[in-house]
């Protein structure tokens, strides 16, 4: 998610770009010495949610592996006004040195290399209320039309530490997760993975959810409401896949109709990206009191059961009304964001670029290549080319919001350059396999693609990811000769370019140096293949 809420989006982009880097940004965004010596293994997160007082109280029992003997301090993140109330290890209460949202736990017992250790983090408070979820996250406290509580967490960007204590950096994920969520007895909690057990007492119910696969922090979520559930079994590439839908009672009928797109999504994405990455945890769509978010194996949905983006077509071409934007985009993140996760949010284009491109691939699968191209090309007028898609490393700073539509358009351009749709599909499927359940970097992803396509893509990625501008193809025609080059590029930029001269397509290898081509007499203009995201200028 985290895409286009236009105004909010401009403001976030500008402010995060001009912002000074603070000590808190470094503590949050880097592998500090107090994070470097240990590796996450498991979270067992128990929370009680009290809607009347908008309070959360809980304990996260974290298991970690000691990688090497460190500084005897362990960093945990938790944002005010939430408070760490107790930290325990091996039956002892530990002291904590806090610096803003970073809490350095003073370990007493030896931490021996290779050892698995547990630490228990108790916390409570009234967590930040989400002002504009999911972009400006926290907890949303709403009520449905029957007056029942409808509550959800959403915390991409701001971080999961807005409501529970954890290691709030994307490079390291737990291998598995358990959640025990206690809610008033008349409500249901839907979280990640599979529901294994419900404990009932006089006034509350506790829902135990379990996730068998690695999961990123920001994907961990609570959804509490008067839910009903329906489900189906999808015959997928890896066998039967449980697809389960949780919606408010009042919306069940609409959901049963609209969610027919969920198996269509699964079919298209398994074709292009390979098997859904979390069969063990099932796939769920969960209604939420905000637009939606890619929470792993419990994708949240609030698109009003309409096609498009809240009923609108983001591409302006009509193609965007052929699918429910939130079902397709947020579920696309299961492959890019949840399966393949950035190690640093500076590389978040890996999440949003590929996922925006997944909208194209959904259309391609069900409506054809031209429909898909028209859609992606239609989103180009939302690209700003204001700053690079890659952000600043180690300080929790994302790149330009162009990572969505520019990301999709450069992938469409690459597919055109590949000139082999089977190889392109094999490359996409290969990414899901190569980086299966891993966190990774732009460098690793671009290397993989270049090797798979057997192309030197260094200038391509340097231009499109690390610069703000896109290349301009400049040409002039003098009788029977066309002179052409790329301008507005990094030095030495080159990429194959497919152009149309006199109704015929040919490939050129322009560089930033003028070259010459014989053209038929009377040629006055040329066109670039519309699938390639390049400007053109006749001199
Ligand atoms: Zn997204």
pLDDT one-digit tens code per residue, 329-374 = 999 999 999 999 999 999 999 999 999 999 999 999 999 999 999 9
How remote is the CA of residue 205 from the centroid of ligand 1, in Å?
A: 32
How remote is the CA of residue 293 from the centroid of ligand 1, in Å?
A: 7
How remote is the CA of residue 376 from the centroid of ligand 1, in Å?
A: 15
How remote is the CA of residue 302 from the centroid of ligand 1, in Å?
A: 14
How remote is the CA of residue 111 from the centroid of ligand 1, in Å?
A: 39
Q: CA of 75: how far to CAs of 88, 98, 175, 393, 466, in Å?
A: 14, 9, 19, 19, 32
pLDDT per position as a tens digit, 371-427: 999 999 999 999 999 999 999 999 999 999 999 999 999 999 999 999 999 999 999
How remote is the CA of residue 490 from the centroid of ligand 1, in Å?
A: 29
Checking if the pLDDT of 455 tops 50, the result is: yes
Residue 509: the pLDDT is: 97
Q: What proportion of the chain, given as a percentage, has pLDDT over 70?
A: 96
Average pLDDT over residues 232-238: 98
Q: CA of 213: how far to CAs of 120, 148, 154, 262, 462, in Å?
A: 22, 33, 20, 21, 34
How remote is the CA of residue 402 from the centroid of ligand 1, in Å?
A: 12
How remote is the CA of residue 217 from the centroid of ligand 1, in Å?
A: 16
pLDDT per position as a tens digit, 309-321: 999 999 999 999 9
How remote is the CA of residue 522 from the centroid of ligand 1, in Å?
A: 47
Residue 214 three-state SS? coil
Contacts of 506 (CB under 8 A, 6+ apart): 498, 499
pTM greater than 0.85 (yes/no): yes
pLDDT tier at 11 (50, 70, 90 boundaries)? very low
Torsion of CA 159, 162, 165, 168, to 10 degrees: 20
Q: CA of 155: how far to CAs of 79, 132, 213, 219, 446, in Å?
A: 12, 11, 20, 8, 28
How remote is the CA of residue 327 from the centroid of ligand 1, in Å?
A: 11
Distance of CA 245 to the CA centre of its chain: 21
Average pLDDT along the chain: 95
Please tell me what DSSP assigns to residue 472. Answer: E
Average pLDDT over residues 51-64: 98
Q: CA of 324: how far to CAs of 249, 264, 359, 393, 474, in Å?
A: 21, 11, 10, 34, 39
Residue 71: the pLDDT is: 87
Helix 458-466 × helix 405-418 angle, to 10°:
170
Q: CA of 452: how far to CAs of 31, 273, 432, in Å?
A: 31, 15, 13
How remote is the CA of residue 3 from the centroid of ligand 1, in Å?
A: 6
Beta carbons within 10 angstroms of residue 9's beta carbon: 17
Residue 48: the pLDDT is: 98
At CA 96, angle to CA 94 and CA 97, rounded to 5?
150
Indicate the length of the chain as a whole number: 539
Beta carbons within 10 angstroms of residue 146's beta carbon: 10
Beta carbons within 10 angstroms of residue 384's beta carbon: 15
CB 159 within 8 A of CB 168: yes
Residue 19: the pLDDT is: 60
**Alpha helices per DSSP H over 194-320:** 252-258, 261-273
Residue 69 three-state SS? coil
Q: Which two tokens stand for residue 122?
A: 């108790």
How remote is the CA of residue 486 from the centroid of ligand 1, in Å?
A: 32
How remote is the CA of residue 19 from the centroid of ligand 1, in Å?
A: 23
How remote is the CA of residue 333 from the centroid of ligand 1, in Å?
A: 7
Spell out the long-range contacts of 485-493 with Cβ–Cβ below 8 A and sequence spacing 24 or more: 485/510, 485/511, 485/512, 485/513, 485/514, 485/515, 486/510, 486/511, 486/512, 487/512, 487/537, 488/535, 489/463, 490/459, 490/462, 490/463, 492/459, 493/459, 493/462, 493/463
How remote is the CA of residue 11 from the centroid of ligand 1, in Å?
A: 18
How remote is the CA of residue 329 from the centroid of ligand 1, in Å?
A: 6
How remote is the CA of residue 1 from the centroid of ligand 1, in Å?
A: 3
Nearest to 283 by CA among 240, 341, 224: 240
- Counting Cα atoms < 13 Å in the Cβ hemisphere of 455 gives 23
How remote is the CA of residue 308 from the centroid of ligand 1, in Å?
A: 15
Please tell me what DSSP assigns to residue 281. Answer: G
Q: CA of 522: how far to CAs of 477, 484, 503, 518, in Å?
A: 10, 17, 13, 12
Q: Which two tokens stand for residue 40?
A: 């996450």
How remote is the CA of residue 356 from the centroid of ligand 1, in Å?
A: 7
Q: Report the alpha-carbon distance of residue 373 to residue 364 in Å, rounded.
A: 8
How remote is the CA of residue 446 from the centroid of ligand 1, in Å?
A: 20
How remote is the CA of residue 337 from the centroid of ligand 1, in Å?
A: 8
How remote is the CA of residue 509 from the centroid of ligand 1, in Å?
A: 34
Kind of pairing between the strands at 188-189 and 535-538:
unpaired
How remote is the CA of residue 330 from the centroid of ligand 1, in Å?
A: 6
Q: Report the alpha-carbon distance of residue 227 to residue 201 in Å, rounded.
A: 19
How remote is the CA of residue 354 from the centroid of ligand 1, in Å?
A: 9
Beta carbons within 10 angstroms of residue 478's beta carbon: 9
Contacts of 96 (CB under 8 A, 6+ apart): 84, 87, 103, 104, 105, 106
Residue 70: the pLDDT is: 80
Residue 20: the pLDDT is: 84
Nearest to 223 by CA among 188, 196, 185: 188
């Amino acid at each position: 998610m985290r895409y286009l809420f236009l105004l909010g989006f401009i403001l976030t982009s500008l402010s995060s770009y001009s912002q000074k880097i603070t000590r808190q940004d470094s503590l949050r965004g880097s592998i500090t010495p107090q994070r470097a010596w240990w590796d996450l293994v498991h979270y067992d997160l128990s929370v009680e949610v009290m809607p009347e007082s908008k309070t959360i109280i809980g304990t996260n029992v974290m298991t970690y592996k000691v990688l090497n003997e460190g500084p005897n301090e362990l960093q945990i993140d938790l944002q005010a006004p939430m408070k760490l109330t107790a930290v325990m290890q091996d039956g002892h209460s530990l002291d904590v040195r806090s610096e803003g949202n970073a809490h350095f736990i003073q370990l007493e017992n030896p931490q021996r290399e290779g050892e698995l250790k547990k630490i228990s983090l108790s916390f409570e408070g009234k967590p930040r209320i989400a002002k504009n979820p999911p972009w400006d996250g926290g907890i949303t406290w709403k009520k449905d039309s029957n007056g029942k509580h409808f509550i959800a967490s959403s915390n991409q960007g701001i971080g999961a530490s807005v409501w529970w204590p954890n290691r709030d950096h994307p490079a390291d994920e737990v291998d598995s997760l358990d959640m025990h969520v206690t809610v008033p007895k008349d409500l249901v909690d839907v979280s990640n993975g599979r529901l294994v057990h419900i404990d009932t007492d006089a006034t509350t119910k506790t829902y135990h959810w379990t996730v068998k696969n690695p999961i990123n922090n920001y994907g961990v979520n609570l959804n509490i409401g008067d839910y009903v559930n329906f489900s189906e079994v999808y015959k997928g590439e890896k066998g039967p896949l449980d697809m389960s839908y949780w919606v408010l009672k009042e919306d069940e009928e609409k959901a049963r109709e609209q969610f027919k797109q969920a198996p269509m999504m699964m079919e298209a994405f398994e074709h292009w990206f390979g098997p859904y990455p979390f069969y063990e945890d099932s796939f769920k769509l969960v209604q939420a009191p905000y637009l939606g978010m890619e929470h792993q194996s419990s994708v949240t949905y609030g698109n009003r059961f309409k096609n498009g983006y809240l009923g609108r077509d983001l591409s302006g071409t009509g193609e965007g009304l052929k699918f429910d934007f939130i079902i397709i985009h947020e579920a696309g993140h299961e492959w890019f964001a949840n399966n393949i996760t950035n190690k640093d949010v500076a590389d978040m284009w890996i999440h949003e670029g590929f996922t925006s491109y997944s909208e194209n691939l959904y259309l391609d699968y069900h409506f054809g290549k031209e429909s898909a191209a028209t859609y992606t090309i239609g989103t180009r007028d939302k690209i700003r080319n204001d700053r690079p898609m890659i952000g600043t490393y180690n300080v929790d700073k994302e790149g330009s919001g162009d990572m969505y539509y520019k990301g999709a358009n450069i992938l469409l351009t690459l597919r055109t350059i590949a000139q082999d749709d089977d190889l392109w599909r094999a490359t996409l499927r290969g990414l899901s396999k190569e980086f299966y359940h891993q966190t990774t970097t732009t460098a690793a992803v671009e290397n993989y693609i270049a090797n798979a396509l057997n192309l030197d893509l260094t200038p391509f990625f340097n231009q499109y990811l690390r610069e703000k501008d896109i290349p301009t193809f400049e040409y002039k025609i003098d009788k029977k000769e066309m002179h052409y080059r790329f301008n507005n590029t990094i030095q030495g930029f080159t990429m194959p370019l497919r152009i149309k001269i006199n109704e015929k397509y040919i490939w050129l290898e322009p560089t930033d140096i003028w070259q010459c081509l014989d053209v038929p007499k009377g040629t006055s203009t040329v066109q670039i293949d519309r699938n390639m995201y390049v400007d053109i200028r006749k001199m």
